[in-house]
Homo-oligomer: A and B are copies of this chain.
Amino acid sequence: MTKIVTISREFGSGGRTVGKKAAEILGIPCYDSEIIAKIAEQSGFAENYIREHSEDAVDSGIFAALSRTDYYGLNNSDQIWAIQCGIIKELAEQGPCVIVGRCADYILSDRDDILKVFIHAPKEARMQRIVHEYGETDIDPEKRITDKDKRRISYYQLYTDNKWGVAQNYNISLDTEAIGIDKCAEIIADLAK
């Protein structure tokens, strides 16, 4: 039975590409930006607003944690989180797939057919990648990576209570620089079969 694969990934590690390639090998769908589009549809928020208030949120640090305890119900980030949880659970219900990012590993943790993957790479390789592959040349790549890392770490910890990047939270963690994107995809597809 093919499993549902969740891919958590460091910014610039090539995790999205690994996910797409593994899904291709397995002949199953890969969900990534589609999830944002679905959240936009259900919430009425613009896609960019959702990006800024979910895993790449600027405000998911301690202030967001404090603001969540207010007496006025859910804030926008919490609303987006609730809708995101529903969408990811629905997608998993539809059958085997690869889901990139969005804390899917945590959201689906009550299922027993999940392969939880973490994709990472050394900072130097990620800097190269965001310049050459993503074509991001307007901001200092090191600053961009540090900033994105901070956001994902805070967001993951805020909503899941797990620590980002701890090997024990995943079934397999892979360094794309040492192993190569294609080999990572092959290993994942083989394990998910």
Contacts and interface: CB of A to CB of B under 8 A. Distances in A.
Contacts of A167: 118, 120, 165-167, 170, 173
Interface of A: 10, 115-116, 118, 120, 122, 165-168, 170-175, 178-179, 183, 187, 191
A71 B169 CA distance: 42
Given A166-B165, A187-B187, A179 B175 contact: no
A165 B167 CA distance: 6
B170 A175 contact: yes
A98 to B, nearest CB: 17
Contacts of A170: 167, 173, 175
6 contacts: A168-B175, A171-B175, A172-B173, A172-B175, A173-B173, A183-B191
Nearest to A163: B166
Given A120-B167, A166-B165, A179 B183 contact: no
B175 A174 contact: no
A10 B179 CA distance: 23
Contacts of A171: 174-175, 178-179
A179 B114 CA distance: 12
A118 B165 CA distance: 13
